[in-house]
Amino acid sequence: MVTRLLHTRYRVADLARTVDFYTRVLGLKEIRRHKSPRGSELVFLETPGSSELIEICQFDASGPVVVGPDLTHLAFEVPDLAAFAAHAAALGYPLSDGPTTSSSGSSFAFIDAPEGYEIELIQPAPSPT
């Protein structure tokens, strides 16, 4: 049996542009970078408050990267969705969908990463007072 999730990998065609998006737009931290034994260029990113990592991989020998619509996404919590949306738009990454308020009072929206992977942003519902 498995004991914990270590990382999720996304293969990309432009490693530098994608890492820039995850670090500058989303605020993730690059924690290591190396070349795998088969020649993949790998960058591991850390999300505040999470122990699982995101691995960004560029391996041109695998052929073109084709991201299917609505196939997969990462979801991140944000404290202020409107502030995040303004920040991301100023960096050239406007929201692609939303924001939408759920029946529980949380809000969510989506933004597209450079390679076409979808990122979900969730602002928790306000705490009852």
The model's pLDDT over 4-49, given as tens digits with 9 standing for 90+, comes to 889 999 999 999 999 999 999 999 999 999 999 999 999 999 998 8
* pLDDT reading at 70 higher than 80: no
103 lies in which domain range? 70-129
- pLDDT tens digits, one per residue of 89-117: 999 999 999 999 998 999 999 999 998 89
Q: Which domain-ending residue is among 40, 60, 80? A: 60
3-state secondary structure of 100: strand
- Model pLDDT, residue 22: 96
Q: Looking at the 3D structure of the chain, how many domains does it have?
A: 2
Q: Which amino acid is at 74?
A: L
Domain of 110, CATH number, reads: 3.10.180.10
Q: Which domain-ending residue is among 35, 60, 85? A: 60
- Model pLDDT, residue 71: 79
Cα separation, 129 vs 118, whole angstroms: 34
Cα separation, 97 vs 37, whole angstroms: 39
Residue 97 lies in a domain: yes
Cα separation, 75 vs 121, whole angstroms: 6
